[in-house]
Amino acid sequence: MNNNMIKNENINLLAQDFFEAHVVEFSTESQTLPQLYTKMYNFLLTGKQDDLKPETINLLKGLKNYINYQMETRIQCVGIGKDPLISPTQT
């Protein structure tokens, strides 16, 4: 099993932490979300953290690990004749 595997439940917890960390900004500033999206996008492309909160970085790293794991396991399924659209954890 890949060390980077992350479960759906973990993604949900990371997302909750992310929203809790940003709830005040989201409720008071209308431009917070577009600005945050730009910083998140830059982090994914370059690794530059700017002034991202740790909860945001953890969520992004978790999502990246989840996507990488899913792609790896689904590509491996093709090699052994399984349906790549079905997660290996579902079989």
Does residue 53 belong to any structural domain of this protein?
A: yes
| Res 54: pLDDT | 97
The reply to whether 1 falls in a domain is no
Q: Residue 4 pLDDT > 90, yes or no? A: no
Contact 57, 42 (CB under 8 A): no
Which amino acid is located at 38 in the chain? T
Domain region containing 80:
8-90
**Tokens standing for 80?**
């052994």
pLDDT at 73: 80
Structure confidence at residue 50 (pLDDT): 85
Cβ–Cβ < 8 Å for 83, 24: no
Q: Domain count of the chain?
A: 1
pLDDT at res. 2 = 44
Asked, for residue 2, whether it belongs to a domain, the answer is no
Residue 57 sits at φ, ψ, to 5 deg, of -65, -45
Q: What is the pLDDT of residues 24-78, one digit of tens each?
A: 998 998 888 899 999 999 999 999 998 999 999 999 999 999 888 888 887 777 7
DSSP structural state of residue 17: H
**Is 30 inside a domain boundary?**
yes
Alpha carbons 84 and 42: distance in angstroms, whole number = 30
